[in-house]
Amino acid sequence: MSTQTQPTKPVTDLPDKENENDIQYRQYVQDVVAEGQRQVQDGRIFTLDQVEKKLEQWLK
């Protein structure tokens, strides 16, 4: 299930000790993961070999 179709948990389902910062951080992590998944689907990824070659060029 993608994060776009995944329903947001109601506030009543959250742990009792979770505060506003915890909720914001949870949402931030979900957003970052969703963006990474979109990049993979769009083919905006690099192989390890490609990254190593770029690093070699930059570090010369």
d(CA 24, CA 6): 17
d(CA 20, CA 14): 11
Are the C-beta atoms of residues 2 and 37 closer than 8 Å to each other?
A: yes
What pTM did the predictor assign? 0.56
CA neighbor of 2 nearest in space, from 23, 33, 39: 33
pLDDT tens, position by position, 1-56: 455 555 555 555 666 678 889 889 989 999 999 999 999 999 999 999 999 999 99
pLDDT the model gives residue 12 = 57
